Amino acid sequence: MIFGDMELIPITDGTSWGDGGGAFGLVPKTVWDELLPSDSRNRIPMILRCLLVRTPQATILVETGMGDKVTPEIAEKQHMRLERPNGWLLDDLRRHDVAPDDVDIVLLTHLHGDHSGGGTRFLDGQIVPTFPRAHYLVQQREWRDAHNLNERTRATYFGINYDPIEKAGKLKLLDGDAAVIPGVRLVTAPGHTAGLQVVIFESGGQTAVFLGDLAFFHWQLERLAWVSAYDVDPLGSIETKRIWQPWLAEREALIIFQHDPLITAGKLVSREGRYKVETVAPAG
């Protein structure tokens, strides 16, 4: 997608099939299963969508998917199914003529395994940063929570996904909202995790937003109460979405959904007092 003087290219690390109840939280299965049918083990498809951003100044990668450390066997143990008919993240980047060395900046919305996993990889028996030249930008708060695990968060954070980045001196921790390069900035959006950040692109009077897990699917952006069971602060997620809904609608922002299997990009419109996502780019 051409966006002012930037190019925003959705890429993928594959599809992770995970428990539908986890993704939809308190929403009854009879409701969500109509929207997104589950498989025989109650699992629904979650796209591991990332965003390649080409600007005159830099090549930026937003998110890194699950990476090559999660084999199909490990996925099975975690009650997931990993589908990668076209390979993983680096294969999709190669299809766009991007080598790991070409990436200048990696933006991580948070450090959960399906967002940070591709940021490091196995190479010659070691786990190293996948993008050796890049600086990785994460919120300080997210980093702290990922290193102070509790019974609730333990299954979602894995040090092998990000500790080697710090060791290589490539980590940049942010204390709140931050400018990345002209036209690209990060804004905190607490709820799913306390240190979640979304990415905003501004060019030629237009706005685009990469939402991360502020809403897995477009339905969760339309409806405030639809919050995933993974969110550490569901009431915080609702308040954060309450702020973002009018902000996105007023600007007619192009919204890129990370996990949505139906919509890659859409716009939020207000109609008769309700918000609705209109598809700009369907998935696939």
| For Zn ion, the closer CB: 54 or 112 | 112
| Secondary structure letter of residue 111 according to DSSP | -
Smallest distance from the beta carbon of 272 to Zn ion, in angstroms? 32
Buried b (16+ CB within 10 A) or exposed e, 166-180: beeebbeebeeebeb
Smallest distance from the beta carbon of 230 to Zn ion, in angstroms? 6
| For Zn ion, the closer CB: 134 or 189 | 189
Instruction: Give the helix/strand (H/E) hosting 280.
Output: strand 274-282
| For Zn ion, the closer CB: 3 or 162 | 162
Smallest distance from the beta carbon of 215 to Zn ion, in angstroms? 11
| For Zn ion, the closer CB: 145 or 202 | 145
Triad 282, 136, 264: Cα angle to 5°: 5
Closest CB to Zn ion belongs to which residue? Answer: 112
| Contacting positions for Zn ion (CB under 5 A) | 112, 213
Smallest distance from the beta carbon of 53 to Zn ion, in angstroms? 20
- Closest C-alpha among 229, 183, 227, 228 to residue 209: 183
CA quadruple 144, 150, 155, 158: dihedral, nearest 10: 30
Smallest distance from the beta carbon of 255 to Zn ion, in angstroms? 17
Rounded to whole angstroms, the Cα distance separating 20 from 41 reads 9
| For Zn ion, the closer CB: 117 or 164 | 117
End-to-end Cα distance, the chain: 14
